[in-house]
Structure 1
Amino acid sequence: MLAQTLSLTSYYTICLTAIDQFFSTNHQFRLRQMCTIKLARYVTFISICIWIAHSILSGCLFDIQGSLGCVVSNPIWQQYISSFFYPVLIGLLPIAIVLLFSLLAFHNVRRIVRRQIPIVRRRLDQQLTAMVLMRAVIAACFISPYIIYRIYITKFPVSQNQSMQYAITRLIQAVCLSLINIHFSASFYIFLILSSRFRRQVKFLLVKKYWQRLKYLCHLNNNQINPENAETFGTDMELA
């Protein structure tokens, strides 16, 4: 249940990011006004609550069956898992939402050039839109293999008694899960390549802030040399 909650929350937070980028770059002022931090917090909180409820319901319908492990025991829910959850809810739907709104945001950014907006704002919107669009492409490439694997293994479960087939499916599962882990970590490096502002911010945090703090904690700072206090001359000494 925890893994399902975190996965759904991550995927649909990416969708909300793409939708927010579309509205914040829209040429209509009324739509741009809708994108506030307060609204983003509300929507994110509601999304998390929905996926927690969905995961709890899904967990209640799982059962432990000998060599098969944890499997769906309810036939209706099994049909839902194989026909909608993996192919649509985790697969096609978030990828389609992110790609659609990222392309629309990219179109909005191209229209920004024709409007009287400061150059700095244009560049920031262009960088952020490129980052969101690239994030969608990465998600589509790295999540799809796991979705296909889960659909197959749900329809055709493999018992541990079938040692060779079971070993092959476990290997495929490990590879697909590794791709998902790369998908979550690759975003940092993609953003680092695409955005000069992001690179400056990372450099500031790593070099100017955390490295200096680490040097202070490890006492790596250079010793400072202070002049000794000059001896006080006696009143009976003659000055040349």
Structure 2
Amino acid sequence: MCTLKLGRYVTFIFVCFAIIHSIALGSSYDIQPTFGCVISDHTWVQYSTYFFYPVLVGLLPIVIASSSSILAYRNVRHIVRRQLAIVRRKLDKQITAMVLMRVIAFVCLVSSYNAYRIYATNFPPSRSMPMAYAIGRLLQTILLSINNINYMISSYIFIIFSSRFRRQVEIVLVKKCWQRCKYWCCSINNRIESENNIEPCNS
């Protein structure tokens, strides 16, 4: 049974695993004058090639995200058949569409960098070939930038593909945040004007 307490335990376990795994994998890197900072241990090279990048970083998150989107889609189809409120149906449809688009963006943005890392781990570009090394570094920088977009694009995807989410963002930004800022600025201006209008007392 999924509970908040169980979720905390699972999160704590995954955080500990990520820290230990990062320390262990980072200790396998070595600075070589020819290739730069690369994995020097053959065992860790095989691990990165056949498990870390294709499974742990690539396939496993994609499978989890895809499973979540499929479950959300089935949930919406099940809700449509039931006699529920229209607002509930619209909210579930909105969440399902957002999850599906997020999964598609995740697959497109992450897969290319993982594929390059698998190639670069097994065939690192040598510094003795400046042109090939520069092209490899440039390609890695571009793909890493695309991969990092995955962590900051969620809100933009939801705004683009969900009209209901756009209206909600507009309500929050315009009717709440902007009104508060406007009220705060007006209150400061009124306070300054009232202080300026006070005449000094004549002794």
State the TM-score bracket (shorter-chain normalisation).
Answer: 0.7 to 0.9
Shift of 1:152: 0.6
1:176 aligns with 2:143: yes
Match of 2:107 in 1: 140
Q: Secondary structure at the match of 1:63?
A: strand
> 2:177 and 2:28 mapped to 1: Cα distance?
46
**CA drift at 1:213:** 5.2
Aligned length, in residue pairs: 194
Partners in 1 of 2:45 and 2:141 — Cα distance? Answer: 23
- How far is 1:174 from its partner? 1.5
Match of 1:107 in 2: 74
Pick from 109, 116, 131 the counterpart of residue 98 of structure 2: 131
Q: Are residues 144 and 62 of structure 1, via their aligned partners in 2, closer, same or farther at CA, if it must alter by over 3 Å?
A: same
Per-residue displacement from partner, 1:88-135 (whole Å, max 9, x unpaired)?
111122112211331232022111111232222222122112211211
Distance 1:212 1:185 in 2: 27
Whole-angstrom CA distance in 2 between matches of 1:195 and 1:42:
34
Matched AA of 2:151: F
SS at match of 2:126: coil
Change (3 A) 1:77 1:135: same
Q: Distance in 1 between matches of 2:179 and 2:54?
A: 48
2:201 counterpart residue number: none
Partner SS for 2:152: helix
Structure whose CA Rg is larger: 1
Other structure's SS at 2:81 match: coil
TM (norm. structure 2) is: 0.81
Partners of 1:202 and 1:172 lie apart in 2 by 36
Identity of aligned residues (%): 57
Name the SS for the 2:59 alignment partner: helix
Deviations 1:3-54 (A, max 9, x none): xxxxxxxxxxxxxxxxxxxxxxxxxxxxxxx454444333333222221111
Distance of aligned partners of 1:161 and 1:209 in 2 relative to their CA distance in 1, 3 Å threshold: farther
Tell me if 1:118 matches 2:85.
yes
**Kept after mapping to 2: 8 A contact 1:63/1:72:** yes
- Within a 5 Å distance, the mapping from 1:211-222 to structure 2 comes to 211-212=178-179, 214-215=181-182
**2:154 matched to 1:191?**
no
Asked if 2 retains the 8 angstrom alpha-carbon contact of 1:113 and 1:122, the reply is: yes
Measured against aligned partners, the alpha-carbon deviations of 1:153-202 in whole angstroms (never above 9, x if no partner) come to: 11101122210100111111121112112222222111113334533442
Q: Any gaps of 5 or more consecutive residues in structure 2?
A: 198-203
SS of the residue corresponding to residue 94 of structure 1 reads helix
Counterpart residue number, 2:129: 162
What is the distance in 2 between the residues matched to 1:189 and 1:198? Answer: 10
8 Å contact 1:127–1:194 — kept in the other structure? no
